[in-house]
Amino acid sequence: MNHAYSITAAELAARGRDDIPPELLSSAHLIYSSPATLAFNSPGAQGFGVKRAGLAVPGSVMLLVAPACCGRNTSALGCEAALAERFFYLMQDDTDIVTGRHLARIPEAVKEVCDSCAVRPSAVMICITCVDALLGTDMERVCRKASDYAGVPVVPCYMYALTREGRLPPMVSVRRSVYSLLQPREKVPTSVNILGFFSPLRDDTELYTLLRAAGVRAIREISRCADYEEYQKMAEANFNLVLNQEARHAAADLQKRLGIPSVELARLYQTDKIANQYRLLGQAVGAEFDDAPYREQAEQAIVNFKNTFGHRTFAVGEWLNADPFELSLSLIRNGFAVSEIFGTVGESNFIYVKKIAALSPDTRIYSNLSPSMMFYDGADAQCDTVIGRDAMYYHPALPGVAWNDEHQPFGYAGVAALFDELNKALSGGMGAAR
Amino acid sequence: MKSLLKHLSPFAPDQSGAVSALFDFGGLIVICDAGGCTGNICGFDEPRWFIRRSAVFSAGLRDMDAILGRDDKLVAKLQSAMDGSGLKFSAIIGTPVPAIIATDFKALKRMAEKRTGLPAITVPATGTRHYDRGASDAWLELFKTFATEKLDIDPGTVGVLGASPLDFPALDAGNLLSDAIKKDGWKSVKCYGMGAGLDDVKKASSAAKNIVVSPAGLAAAKHLQKTFGTPYEVRCPWLPEQVLDALPSLAGEKTLVIHQQVAANAVRDEILKHDAASHVDVASWFIMELEFMRANDFHIESEEAFIEAVANGGYDAIVCDSRLRVALPRTQTFNIIDFPHFAVSGRLLDEVK
């Protein structure tokens, strides 16, 4: 192994979904850690890992119950003033790991944490890790006991990295955790929740306008809830809009517990598919959305970019607010070229690989996690523009956009914003939007 | 509660120390975890990782790997990554997962060596200990594995043991330490892990002396003394300028110095140089070797104990990583001299404002 493994879209599509080469499967090799993979390869690492996500409940604090190593990088999160005072740690030692005796200390620790806070927390999120996964800890029971003892809601958050590719990966599980405190309320027909992200959609997202035009008065996202009472109002929603499939499990739980049905929408960059999705949403909720002006705006942004910068060749990464394969397909369908995609091929996006293969068979696909990426050398790459923080890492000299802001792009507004940012990056020279 | 942190966040763990010790020797490092530990180590505890590509990998363990103990699968993956890579050895570092399932690291070492045909080092870190324990184990294992030949002694060469960014918060700390030692007349300084590589480790027996700059280097120094007769001394030849500049102001004050023990002792010596009558105590969250402690020095067992010791110690000044400030009693005021300790705060000197 002395070069980075890659495969063309045509070769991969020809092999089929059931014959993905082992070099692209993270379970088949060691996992390379590069700055390109840090954000998404660790459930506790940068961005919204389990720890930060668990604090999405307004007014909550988190008690990490784990060996000290699991809380180490929380120091970085704690640098943010808003979070600094919301993390607490109950550290396990070797004896705890062997005997599980730490479980008996949790209720007292929760009480001590609550007593030490200037404002009593709305809830205590208990974050547990691989250790308790292997010990088979019944944390629901421990949390009930702690809740009774400390007089505050206590909720488990499972940061089980070991189960990342299982039925309930950490980022799926934590979404269920953060909505689990919602208590039944009378339904309000004009109220809707948006589930999926831990930070809000961009303010200019047309989804807000379209929903309001359809008669929706209250659109709630957990990240926009000012306090615990506002958060509890999410229980009155008529339906949930699920914008990230990792929230599917949480939505199913809310349907079961609170009777709130859900509709799932995907984040897409192909404008015709966005239009189709809004049409289907309209049918589902009994409304007709006038999305044409927004579509026109997004498509105009693409035309403007193309008129200014001509035919560009992109490298697209996966550390960004998009599915890299869907975004690449969108770029190709809009007349651009995509020479490289750094992404994880799976069941949900293989369909895009097939479509890319038909339009751009020579597009090369790399796995960020392959050990061979240690030898990646972009000197021969054909790209001249990059999208995604990881792609920027591989091509530091090329202009591009990280496209991983916390405010989430969605719909036509997301498409327009992407091309606006690309426009700025290329106008201002490399690094303008980094 | 002793094990509860209400103000501070956890310090660098033993697996980070082990990786830090082995980072610069051209080996393939596998962290035996599910991904999270590797993220913490690379993304937080190893500042060199951000500036150059390195062969640090996660084993990518999944629940069934842990339940079934699939060591053969791990070694097969390791071999696949090693093949044709030009890397000189492999290192497998433990985390809580192998600690729980009682992974046999000695067996893993044998399996890895047999499969790759290259030396392998294993460090059974557990994630429950501090970085210096892991670093100490890694240094010892490194020298046991590679420094096996007794060579003629070069009287102008000195080795430096225990240097890593976790203890010396500067990416060029190896140069800074070496330059300071050269002022004592040494022609060649081998700062292992921060400048001196694997070939220098193999020739470790040719050093006339070793200087131990942190407690993490002591076990390796003792091993080299026992094996080759190389003498060692424990001292910190370099301290950050900004710290040195601030120390004269502490003359006559009752001062507590908190850092890794060797550096903290050096700070104390500096303060006493200015005023021999000053009262200076040394404390550390990390290894405190009894032989280098003075009366009133103490090991900090917990956040609770730290708060109590500071509140009742009658100190005027504290030399420490300023991140500890959040745990200091708010009813008292102290003259704080910031001496960054990467293992505590993840701050490098050039990030300090």
Q: Are residues A142 and A22 in the same domain?
A: no
What is the DSSP code (8-state) at residue A62?
Answer: E
**Mean pLDDT value across chain B:** 95
CATH homologous superfamily, domain B154-234? Nitrogenase molybdenum iron protein domain (3.40.50.1980)
pTM: 0.93
Q: How far apart are CA B213 and CA B203, in angstroms?
A: 20
> Would you say residue B222 has pLDDT above 90?
yes
Asked whether residue A432 is assigned to any structural domain, the reply reads no
**A129 and B127 in contact (C-beta within 8 Å)?**
no
Facing residue for B95 by CB, picked from A69, A88, A165: A69
Residue type, A212: R
| Pair (A114, A206) in one structural domain | no
Report the pLDDT value the prediction gives residue B256, as an integer from 0 to 100: 98
Identical fold, B14-146 and B241-351: yes
Which fold does the domain B241-351 belong to in CATH?
Answer: Rossmann fold (3.40.50)
For residue B127, give the nearest of A68, A109, A164 by CB distance.
A68
Chain B within 8 Å of A97 (Cβ-Cβ)?
Answer: yes
Domain boundary pick from A265, A280, A302: A265
Cα B61 to Cα B70: distance, rounded to the nearest angstrom = 9
CA pair distance B193, B24, nearest whole angstrom: 5
pLDDT on residue A430: 44
State whether residue A83 sits within 8 Å of chain B by CB: no
In whole angstroms, what is the distance from residue A35 CA to residue A393 CA? 7
CB contact under 8 A, A72 and B100: no
Query: Can you spell out the DSSP letters for A185-246?
Result: ----TTEEEEES-SSPBPTT-HHHHHHHHTT--EEE-GGG--SHHHHHGGGG-SEEEE-SGG
Is A63 within a domain?
Answer: yes
Give the number of domains in chain A. 3
Residues A305 and A368 in one domain: yes
From chain A, pick out residues whose CB is under 8 angstroms from the CB of B77. 28-30
Q: Does residue B24 register a pLDDT over 80?
A: yes
User: Is there a single domain that holds both residue A423 and residue A298?
Assistant: yes
The CATH class, in words, for B14-146 is: alpha beta
Residue A38 lies in a domain: no
Interchain proximity B62–A162, CB inside 8 Å: yes
Domain contains A176: no
Domain coverage including residue A374:
6-30+291-427
Least confident of A101-105, B48-52, B150-154, B270-274: B48-52
Residue A364 corresponds to which tokens in the numbers above? 């090369």
ipTM score of the complex? Answer: 0.94
- 8 A C-beta contact, residue B97 and residue A130: yes
A220 contact partners, CB below 8 Å, separation of at least 6: A191, A192, A193, A194, A230, A233, A234, A237
Residue A317 shares a structural domain with residue A202: no
Mean pLDDT over A112-129 rounds to 96
Examine the domain organization and report whether A210 and A258 are in the same domain.
yes
Report the range of poorest mean pLDDT among A70-84, A269-283, A310-324, B229-243: A70-84
Q: Tell me the CATH number at A53.
A: 3.40.50.1980
Q: Which two tokens stand for residue B6?
A: 């209400």
Contact across the interface for B4 and A31, Cβ inside 8 Å: no
pLDDT in tens, A77-94: 555 566 778 999 999 999
pLDDT tens by residue, A45-61: 456 688 888 999 999 99
For residue A43, is pLDDT > 60? Answer: no
pLDDT digits (tens, 9 = 90+) for B55-86: 999 998 888 888 888 899 999 999 999 998 89
Q: How far is B243 from chain A (nearest CA, A)?
A: 23
Contact indicator for A42, A94 with CB cutoff of 8 Å: no
A27 CB contacts (<8 Å, ≥6 apart)? A165, B60, B62
Chain A interface includes B59 (CB < 8 A) = yes
- 8 A C-beta contact, residue A157 and residue A177: yes
Cβ–Cβ below 8 Å for B10 and A42: no
Domain-embedded: residue A278? no
Residues A228 and A309 in one domain: no
The answer on A358 and A231 residing in a single domain is no
A199 plus A164 within the same structural domain: no
Which of A212, A231, A265 is where one domain is finished?
A: A265
**Domain positions in chain B:** 14-146, 154-234, 241-351
Q: Are residues A128 and A18 in the same domain?
A: no
For residue A127 the two structure tokens come to 């974050």
Instruction: Tell which of A136, A168, A200 closes a domain.
Output: A168
Cross-chain Cβ contact A27/B60 below 8 Å: yes
